[in-house]
Amino acid sequence: MAAIQTVPEQCTVLVVGGGPAGSYASSALAREGISVVLLEADNFPRLVSLCSNSLQLPIFTIFATVANLDRRYHIGESMLPSMRHFLKFIDCYEKFDAHGFRVKNGGAFRLNWSRPESYTDFIAAGGPGGYSWNVIRSEADEILFRHAGESGASIFDGTKVTGIEFEESSEDVVDSANPNPGKPVSATWSRKDGSTGLVKFDYLIDASGRAGLVSTKYLKNRRYNQGLKNVASWAYWTGGDASGWVWFIPLHNGTHSVGIVMNQAKATERKKAMDSPSSKEFYLENLNLVPGIQALLEKGELVSEVKSASDWSYSASSYAFPHVRIAGDAGCFIDPFFSSGVHLALSSGLTAAVTISAAIRGDVTEKEAAQWHSSKVAEGYTRFLLVVLSSLKQIRGGDEPVLNDWDEESFDRAFDHFRPIIQGTADADSEKKLSTEEISKTIDFCFRAFAHVPVERKDALLEKMKNHGVSDPTATDPKTREALEELKNTLSPEELDIMNTIRGRRMIRAEDSLNIDNYRLDSINGMAPNLERGNLTLRKAEINKIDVSKKDLLSLLSGEAAEGKHHETEETKAPAAAVAEVAEFAT
């Protein structure tokens, strides 16, 4: 269906942004018979865009860290296997698969040049159809955008939303720390030809990408993760050797995306030492620091300008308030080390659609729907954050055994635990092959990079908690809250630290906060999604899990008490670098 040229003056849901999150949400809602208008500022096909993905190809290749550079990044061209399941739900899989994108069967990661690479095999995990793709983002995004139109949404590219109008509302925001801008009722738009207009709506989905219209302009609740504050430079080459790579992504048009990522502060220092080089000079100079990359590019030709991006990792204190959902990069963005960007965009786009549909149907209140969306987005982000931070800690730690033990020669065991997250199956395992135990192992394994609790001290504290009637320190019922307050008065600072660590671990264990085989079974606040066309909604879940804010979770991960003060001992304090990274993110 061709894009309609006249923007309607009224719709039920206005979606700002035609990237993966916005287009996916539009398709899902339109298929429910809901009136949707999707406005995209750029004209399709869009320029090659940067998102949060990378790596892999039809045969196994090596993704390695950059020597002497503190970080590795991937670019938004490499998809996770989970994408297939999301595409199937909106009947876009066959169209996407037939486009001719480069098939990706898996990949290998090298966190330290002195250690062998470790593999993640998509086919072994998901069967013959378990592959994913390396894509040209401009083409992939247009497929999703056009599919939204074919699904029934009114789609418009080259149409930029310039402002949102609000009216006073007595409805509470999800996060009381955020300002209450009121209820959004209309948006103004403009085009390069000078035409302007206004569209009224009942619900707004902000999928405006890194610009983040709602988070940055109205809520002003975006926070950058200083521990992941990096800068990336990348370009496109032809004629490269595709038998292996560092960040070397083969695309179906014959080019390869090659990029370097490093800590932003170190990049600034290096540029000063090089006497203010051009972007191309800086990029090529740093490529020389990567072992093996010159062999891959010796017959290659640089065929594009060098591009760069910074401030890649950020989040917000909430991702929704009544009648508003924030999805994709508009809300949060995690270091693309494990190709999480499009996965998180589609997941949050689906969550926006589910919760809006549920509210329209009257199955839940609008406040309940907004809270569910915000919690779900924060949860998915936090999963990847834990995996990325633990991997980053290993990269920066060199030979220090963060993700492996002293007697282990590789990181294979770590990647055995990482696979449910980095393949996206924690959110989209339609065949229910993934167990909650696997997810629990992933989270528990990542957690060891941040804190160590002596077994004997933990057991002693658990016994003391039991004697005070506290069996689960994460429970929120009045009786447990009262018992916890009494217990805190009897604990030493060291014991408080241990209790907070225990609470943090339990908050992210599978049985408490990741009790899912797939997205369909994810229970938050007593509700789980019903992914059935014509009945897209939230339903009462058999198993409830506690709604834990990301800020509280990360503060606990860093060993800080909920009320703020952190008491350190040699046995209980988390490694300083990890604490700094996580605590900075949480504030």
Helix intervals (H) in 398-477:
412-422, 436-447, 455-467
Residue at a domain's end among 310, 338, 370:
310
Q: Is residue 522 part of a domain?
A: no
pLDDT tens readout for residues 482-510: 888 888 889 888 888 777 666 544 443 33
Indicate if 491 and 574 belong to the same structural domain. Answer: yes
In a domain, 535, yes or no: no
- N- to C-terminal Cα distance for the chain? 46
Q: What distance in Å separates the CA atoms of residue 525 and residue 370, rounded to the nearest whole number?
A: 12
Task: Judge if 302 and 318 occupy the same domain.
Answer: no
Domain that holds residue 493: 451-516+548-586
Same domain, 364 and 472: no
Residue 229 lies in a domain: yes
What is the spatial distance between Cα 112 and Cα 97, in angstroms, rounded to a whole number?
A: 34
Please name the amino acid found at residue 227. Answer: G
Question: Residues near 309 by Cβ (< 8 Å), separated by ≥ 6?
Answer: 50, 231, 232
Residues 163 and 295 in one domain: no
Token pair for residue 348?
A: 């949050």
Q: Does residue 47 come out as left (phi exceeding 0), alpha (psi in the -120 to 50 range) or beta?
A: beta
pLDDT of residue 325: 98
In this structure, the answer to whether residues 391 and 478 fall within a common structural domain is no
pLDDT at 406: 31
Residues 475, 351, single domain; the answer is no
Can you give the C-alpha Rg of the chain in angstroms?
24
Helix H segments across 260-340?
264-273, 279-287, 293-297
Q: Cα-Cα-Cα-Cα dihedral of 443, 444, 445, 446, to 10°?
A: 50
Q: Is the residue at 206 inside a domain?
A: yes
Domain's final residue, options 412, 440, 468: 440
- Residues of the chain short of pLDDT 50, as ranges, are 1-4, 48-75, 234, 240-246, 398-426, 428, 430-436, 439-440, 442-450, 504-517, 543-587
Rounded Cα gap, residues 29 and 154, in angstroms: 12
Do 37 and 151 lie in a common domain?
yes
**Closest-CA residue to 561 (of 455, 508, 484):** 484
Q: Choose among 394, 314, 307, 401: nearest CA to 71.
A: 394
Quote the pLDDT of residue 160: 97
Tell me which H or E stretch contains 365.
Answer: none
Who contacts 423 (Cβ-Cβ below 8 Å, separation ≥6)?
80, 81, 82, 120, 122, 125, 126
Q: Of the candidates 556, 466, 541, which has an alpha carbon nearest to the alpha carbon of residue 509?
A: 556
CATH number of the domain where residue 243 is located = 3.30.9.100
In the DSSP assignment, the letter for residue 10 is B
Residues 103, 104, 107: CA angle, nearest 5 degrees: 160
Dist. CA 388–CA 585, nearest whole Å: 13
Whole-Å CA distances, 79 to 36, 103, 162, 343, 562: 27, 10, 31, 7, 37
Domain count, the chain: 3
- Counting Cβ atoms within 10 Å, is residue 276 exposed (0-12), middle (13-18) or buried (19+)? exposed
Residue 217 falls within a domain, yes or no?
yes
- The answer to whether residue 424 is domain-embedded is yes
Are 28 and 178 in contact, with CB atoms under 8 Å apart?
no
CB atoms within 10 A of CB 254: 11
Cα separation of 28 and 354, whole Å?
8
Which neighbouring-strand residues pair with 188?
163, 198
Specify whether 232 is located in the same domain as 217: no
The answer to whether position 530 is within a domain reads no
Q: What is the pLDDT of residue 291?
A: 65
Instruction: Enter the DSSP assignment of 133.
Output: E
318 and 367 inside one domain: yes
**At a CB cut-off of 8 Å and minimum separation 6, what does 198 contact?**
9, 186, 187, 188, 189
Residues 7 and 37 sit within 8 Å (Cβ to Cβ)? yes
CA distance linking residue 233 with residue 307, whole number of Å:
6
Residues 269, 391, single domain; the answer is no
Residue 445 located in a structural domain: no
pLDDT for residue 568: 36
- Residues 96 and 242 occupy one common structural domain: yes
Q: What is the pLDDT of residue 373?
A: 95
Decide which of 310, 336, 357 is a domain's last residue.
310
d(CA 277, CA 328): 34
Do 471 and 503 lie in one domain? The reply is: yes
Annotate 25-79 with DSSP letters as a single string: HHHHHHTTT--EEEE-SSPSSPPP---S----BSS--EEEPPTT-S-----TTB-
